[in-house]
Amino acid sequence: MRILLLCHSFNSLTQRLFVELRERGEEVSVEFDISDAVLREAVDLFEPDLVLAPFLKRAIPEDVLARAKCLIVHPGPPGDRGPSALDWAILEGRENWGVTLLEAAPDLDAGPVWVTRAFPMRAASKSSHYRHEVTRGAVACVIEALQKFRNGERAQPQPELTPMRPVCPRALRRIDWAADDVDAVLRKIRSADGSPGAPGSIGGREYLLFNAEAAHGLPAAEPGTFLARRGGAVALAARDGAVWIGHLREPAAGSLKLPAAHMLGDVFSALPEKPSPLIRYEQDGDIGYLHFAFHNGAMSVADCRTLEAAIVSARREKARALVLTGGPDYWSNGLHLGVIEAAQSAAEESLQNIEAMNDCVRTLLAIDDRLVVAALRGNAGAGGVFLALAADVVMMRDGVILNPHYKDMGNLYGSEYWTYLLPRRVGSEKARLITQNRLPMGAAQAARLGLADIILPEAPEEAEAVMRARVQLIASVADFAERLAAKRLAREKDEATKPLEKYRSEELEKMQRNFFGFDPSYHVARHNFIRKVAKSRTPLHLALHRSLRPRRDIA
């Protein structure tokens, strides 16, 4: 089928649908919802059998509805209506929620139902629910609906519709440190994370609050009092306990969301420091597990240095394998573009950040006394992918999306030793195609290409159990010593052929042109990405119907 994905941005859900549909042999093109005229033009050019919209903020024109079947993913159960479905569900403490595939109708969210999926709610942020339960449910709904569509089945009328619920008002999410208990603070912030943030006063200044979790073991204090710091997060007293706040943003339009450490400055530095759980080492028999969960997968210079130190520390423990698990939402997305954008010199901060990422990769490549396993439980992009490829074995949870390229960020060349690591895995020609195509890939394609060695089940709990069992199996094989010897020999041969530092210097020479040269495209792209500047057109590598060149599939 010819399926047109209509979306506001090429976000995690849209990428997952793009990957899953193409994996099933569908012809998929993408159009950003810029205007009615642009959508009509896309329908004229592509002549889709189906228009699929992962969440729309406005109704599809009736003349488009008359030309093509249009389905909309709504992050709520049948009958629910409105643009803040997940926000309300978290804010009101719903125990169960759902995702529904609706047929588009002139009245928003009022069309008949094709498929729905229910799920229990976790104590997690809106963005985490979106990436996991909503995305899994949406994919299942779309696959089932396509089969029904092919079979000639029809959608079923919705049950009694609830009134259209408005956008969740900012005032309802305002933090009142004296009146709100910890549960209320968490629900308010999680319902607004990652956008628009929950308003509140911290240290006498107004901020939007993000990335919150309960704080334990801290002394009681007057609500709103600063208590401690850990990593980049600050702890504040609530009515009946305390809460860690990881990120803040000033309310002014165009302001940046940054770690609390960056926003609070000297006030933050003066607080007592507590151990950070963002990076945690676990020893299970002769297997070491290094867990690291950076917010949105972004790694600042400080994050990279902390991770590098944790890797070095892990090497002091006796183990046959070191497993890097990343976080449950993201493995890594490489450079922290927000911190770079906020820096006095974005070019200098970019260079320092890529040097720190490179040091992490080099530290992994230097490990020769144990196997290194990258277990990707969450999505990875750009330098985060190549950090994973520094491992000997790459495991990837089904449903994880990789973006092993840099060029969407203003033709950024990239580093992290990718010119060594990617061809080592897939060969020079496939490496060139992967980086030029600029398309996301799922676990199946990654395995076919050689980027992933083992695919784990999609369900997180099952994936965790299978991952640990497979690592134990790998580390207990009879020829383990021979495998380590072969690893050392291969690295020595590669180093003799071309030293790692040569790859690094060549990559950094090109990166310095991106950072300091006459072409400002990297800085413009980063600025637009961080400031959420709306796209004025759909990139041609996504809009197949607008490209003069056919899209070339790699595997």
83-97, pLDDT tens digit by residue?
A: 999 999 999 999 999
pLDDT computed for residue 253 by the predictor: 86
Cβ-contact 47, 4 below 8 angstroms: no
**Separation CA 357–CA 417 (nearest Å):** 10
What the block records as the tokens of 92 is 């009101």
**Separation CA 30–CA 183 (nearest Å):** 40
Confidence bin at 443 (pLDDT 50/70/90): very high
Q: Which CATH code, of 4.10.320.10, 3.90.226.10, 3.40.50.10320, 3.90.230.10, is assigned to 279-517?
A: 3.90.226.10
465-509, pLDDT tens digit by residue?
A: 999 999 999 999 999 999 999 999 999 999 999 999 999 999 999
292-347, pLDDT tens digit by residue?
A: 999 999 999 999 999 999 999 999 999 999 999 999 999 999 999 999 999 999 99
- Size of the chain, expressed as the number of residues it contains: 555
Residue 551 clears pLDDT 70, i.e. is over it: no
Burial zone of 58 (CB within 10 Å; 0-12 exposed, 13-18 middle, 19+ buried): exposed
3-state secondary structure at position 196 = coil
Beta bridge pairs of residue 103: 71
pLDDT above 70 as % of the chain: 99
Residue 548 clears pLDDT 70, i.e. is over it: no
**Separation CA 12–CA 138 (nearest Å):** 12
pLDDT above 90 as % of the chain: 92
Residue 460 clears pLDDT 70, i.e. is over it: yes
pLDDT computed for residue 278 by the predictor: 86
pLDDT computed for residue 407 by the predictor: 87
* 135-150 vs 12-23: helix crossing angle, rounded to 10: 40
Q: Check for a shared fold between 170-269 and 279-517.
A: no
Pick from 9-13, 107-111, 384-388: least confident: 107-111
Q: Which 8-state DSSP code applies to residue 33?
A: -
pLDDT computed for residue 277 by the predictor: 84
143-198, pLDDT tens digit by residue?
A: 999 999 999 999 999 887 788 999 999 999 999 999 999 999 999 999 999 899 99
C-alpha pair distances (Å), 496 with each of 360, 489, 491, 500 = 21, 11, 9, 9
| Nearest CA among 230, 177, 185, 227 for reference residue 210 | 185
pLDDT computed for residue 534 by the predictor: 86
529-547, pLDDT tens digit by residue?
A: 999 998 889 999 999 999 8
| Nearest CA among 305, 414, 315, 427 for reference residue 364 | 315
- The distance of Cα 301 from the centroid of its chain, to the nearest Å, equals 19
Beta bridge pairs of residue 5: 30, 52
pLDDT computed for residue 107 by the predictor: 85
> What residue segments make up the domains of the chain, in order of their start?
2-150, 170-269, 279-517
pLDDT computed for residue 550 by the predictor: 61
**Residues near 145 by Cβ (< 8 Å), separated by ≥ 6?**
71, 101, 114, 115
Beta-strand pair 69-74/96-103:
antiparallel
* 500-516 vs 346-365: helix crossing angle, rounded to 10: 160
**Separation CA 79–CA 65 (nearest Å):** 21
Domain 2-150 has CATH 2.70.98.60: no
> To the nearest whole number, what is the mean pLDDT of the chain?
95
What is the arithmetic mean of pLDDT over 223-251? 97
pLDDT computed for residue 158 by the predictor: 87
**Separation CA 273–CA 231 (nearest Å):** 8
Confidence bin at 220 (pLDDT 50/70/90): very high
Q: Which CATH architecture has domain 170-269?
A: Roll (3.10)
Q: Which 8-state DSSP code applies to residue 237?
A: E
Cis omega (within 30 of 0) for bond into 83: no
